[in-house]
A and B are shown apart, each in its own frame.
Chain A
Amino acid sequence: MSHAGVEPSAEPGDSSRRRWLTALLSTSLGATLVSFLYPVLRYLVPPLASEPSLSELELDVKASDIPPNSGRIVPFAGKAVLIFRTAAGELKALTATCTHLACTVQYRAERSDIWCACHNGVYDANGTNTSGPPPRPLTKLDVNVRGEKIVLRRS
């Protein structure tokens, strides 16, 4: 109010009108900003690829291609799956994504277990986490042999 002499239009109610106009202006500026930011933020989040409905897959891998005590990684519905044969000759399949921090695991023949090289996580042949940082077991998949070919199916 010390500028009252400078501003000739200092009438009562002027300051509340000023406040009202400032509130209107900042609200509309804020709303404009939000209307710019909202599409940008939505743009940053990628659309999730629809989960492939694939539940069964005949692989181009023969059952005889996997000798006892060995394994290999195959793609199944966009994810890595570990198919391995135990030393006893049983064919098994587990998701190959480590439950710790998502590295890809491998079958370790020397110890007949499943090992993640990133942080030294270990699972047994049933996919149960046995040592190291993994918090959960790997997920099992059904393996069948149709003719010569291996067939994978979600359990």
Chain B
Amino acid sequence: MSSGAPEDGVPAPRPTGLAWVRDRLGWDGLAHLIAKKEVPIHRYTVYYYLGGMALFLFLVQVATGILLLLYYRPSAAEAFESVQYVMAEVPFGWLIRSIHSWGANLFVGAVVLHLISVYFLKAYRAPREMTWISGAILLFLTLGFGFSGYLLPWNTLSYFATKVGTDVPAQIPGIGPLLSQILRGGSDVTGATLSRFYGIHVAILPAITTLVLGIHLVLVQQKGMSVPPSIERERRPRTMRFVPDFLLRDMVGWLTAVALLAALAAFFPWELGHKADPFAPAPAGIRPEWYFLSMFQALKYLPAEIAGVPGEMLGIFFFGALAAVLVAVPLLDRGASAGRSSPWWNRLAGVAILGAIVLTILALLPPGKTSP
């Protein structure tokens, strides 16, 4: 049989080995795309590394989280003991668990810094609105990961943090109590809540995050890197290739992050605390993770009632409105998309960031200084 021979009689060589794999993968097209990706060079280029850093720390969480799954037991009777076992008995268990806990904090930090820099560099301008919106959703998913993962060791701190955190949505009029009941898997925080949070932390949130993160990354590739307006006005900046020039610099940052995580895990292993006891009072000095401190402190200051409306309800509406504005920034800040400067949006963000920092510091002060 002379199949495959073209008209001119010269048979095309059939690719073999690695060439065959590359051909079937469509590697050349992909390589062409990668070679085309460029990063602008200007005085704000350093902020381009934050997104890659957040992505890297997320992957660290995925890897260490999968490892923790092999020993963790999601029940009120065994959760605390299984984490204790990981910390004390499993070889390098202390390392994996401490990296997961420290990594979570660095991850939230990287996401927040990425968001702040993208905000002030106005990277949300047209045509990148959906990139920003998907990023804002990723921030909420990140906080969801933090909140749901915090309960899993089933210690006193996490028990009360979850009691408060799941009682907050109960204040929403109408659907609030049902929402709280769905979150808790009952009317109170119990082993049922632990099962639910476990499912949310290791299955529901990862599935949603994979989808949204995929969209976010595809959009970043599609639209290319945003150049801040002030740079755009000056000149068209030079660029460097993403592979290998920018990627190698990225990797320096990632290696540094791994070294930092290992050092934190070794010198400051994450504490486990005491096993949760539903019939013990909330201990003095109780407070949530740092990224929830500003909201926690605001809840402390709100009086029981403001003009006949329950204080917590106002607080929830305030933070809800803030979150809605955050998502909708690219649609609200029309000036930036039209190429004009939008100083009011900068001031608004400045006030919000300052407010969050002040509330966080107040929450960190020893309790004696804040109690009446």
Interface mask (A94-128 → B, CB under 8 Å = 1, otherwise 0) = 00100011111110000000001111100000000
Let me know if A63 is at the binding interface, CB within 8 A. Answer: no
B366 to chain A, nearest CB (A): 13
Residue of B nearest to A118 (CB): B282
State which of B164, B302, B310, B311 has its C-beta within 8 Å of the C-beta of A103: B164
Most B CB contacts (10 A, CB to CB) among A45, A82, A100 go to: A100
Beyond A101-B299, A118-B282, whether A44 also contacts B182 by CB under 8 A is yes
Let me know if B370 is at the binding interface, CB within 8 A. Answer: yes
Q: Which residues of A contact B168 (CB under 8 A)?
A: 101
Q: Is the CB of B286 within 8 A of A120?
A: no
Beyond A49-B186, A133-B302, whether A101 also contacts B282 by CB under 8 A is no
Let me know if A141 is at the binding interface, CB within 8 A. Answer: no
Scan residues 142-161 of chain B and give those whose CB is less than 8 A from a CB of chain A.
Answer: 160
Most A CB contacts (10 A, CB to CB) among B184, B280, B281, B299 go to: B281
Once the chains are docked, how many angstroms separate the CA of A103 from the CA of B287? 12
Q: Is the CB of A73 within 8 A of B279?
A: yes
Most A CB contacts (10 A, CB to CB) among B300, B303, B304 go to: B304
Q: Which residues of B contact A44 (CB under 8 A)?
A: 182
State which of B278, B303, B370 has its C-beta within 8 Å of the C-beta of A133: B303
Let me know if B172 is at the binding interface, CB within 8 A. Answer: no
B273 to chain A, nearest CB (A): 15
Interface mask (A24-66 → B, CB under 8 Å = 1, otherwise 0) = 0000000000000000000011101100000000000000000
Beyond A45-B181, A119-B300, whether A103 also contacts B282 by CB under 8 A is yes
State which of B163, B185, B278, B304 has its C-beta within 8 Å of the C-beta of A46: B185
Let me know if B250 is at the binding interface, CB within 8 A. Answer: no
Once the chains are docked, how many angstroms separate the CA of A155 from the CA of B185? 29
Beyond A101-B168, A119-B300, whether A73 also contacts B370 by CB under 8 A is no
Let me know if A129 is at the binding interface, CB within 8 A. Answer: yes
Beyond A120-B300, A133-B311, whether A104 also contacts B186 by CB under 8 A is no
Q: Which residues of A contact B178 (CB under 8 A)?
A: 45
Once the chains are docked, how many angstroms separate the CA of A73 from the CA of B282? 11
Let me know if A131 is at the binding interface, CB within 8 A. Answer: yes
Residue of A nearest to B171 (CB): A101
A interface, how many residues as a size bin?
A: 20 to 34
Residue of B nearest to A78 (CB): B188
Q: Is the CB of A102 within 8 A of B281?
A: no
Q: Which residues of A contact B304 (CB under 8 A)?
A: 100, 129, 133-135
Residue of B nearest to A79 (CB): B188
B173 to chain A, nearest CB (A): 14
Q: Is the CB of A45 within 8 A of B164?
A: no
Q: Is the CB of B192 within 8 A of A116?
A: no
State which of A79, A102, A131 has its C-beta within 8 Å of the C-beta of B164: A102
Q: Which residues of B contact A119 (CB under 8 A)?
A: 164, 296, 299-300
Q: Which residues of B contact A118 (CB under 8 A)?
A: 160, 164, 282, 286
Q: Is the CB of A133 within 8 A of B164?
A: no
Let me know if B320 is at the binding interface, CB within 8 A. Answer: no
Q: Is the CB of B279 within 8 A of A80?
A: yes
B155 to chain A, nearest CB (A): 15
Q: Which residues of B contact A73 (CB under 8 A)?
A: 279-281
Once the chains are docked, how many angstroms separate the CA of A75 from the CA of B277? 11
Q: Which residues of A contact B182 (CB under 8 A)?
A: 44-46
Once the chains are docked, how many angstroms separate the CA of A104 from the CA of B303? 19
Q: Is the CB of A102 within 8 A of B167?
A: yes
Let me know if A151 is at the binding interface, CB within 8 A. Answer: no
Q: Which residues of A contact B280 (CB under 8 A)?
A: 73, 104
Once the chains are docked, how many angstroms separate the CA of A78 from the CA of B188? 10
Q: Is the CB of B370 within 8 A of A104?
A: no
Q: Is the CB of A104 within 8 A of B164?
A: no
Once the chains are docked, how many angstroms separate the CA of A75 from the CA of B279? 6
Residue of B nearest to A51 (CB): B187
List residues of chain B with CB under 8 Å of any chain A CB.
160, 163-164, 167-168, 178, 181-182, 184-188, 192, 278-286, 296, 299-300, 302-305, 310-312, 367, 370-372
List residues of chain A with CB under 8 Å of any chain B CB.
44-46, 48-49, 73-75, 78-80, 82, 96, 100-106, 116-120, 129, 131-135
Query: Beyond A75-B279, A135-B310: 9 further Cβ-contacts under 8 Å?
Result: A96-B281, A100-B312, A101-B312, A117-B282, A117-B285, A117-B286, A120-B300, A120-B371, A131-B372
Could you show 25 A-B contacts with beta carbons less than 8 Å apart? A48-B181, A48-B186, A48-B187, A73-B280, A73-B281, A80-B278, A100-B304, A101-B163, A101-B167, A101-B168, A101-B299, A103-B163, A103-B282, A104-B160, A104-B163, A104-B281, A104-B282, A116-B282, A117-B283, A119-B300, A120-B371, A120-B372, A129-B304, A133-B299, A134-B304
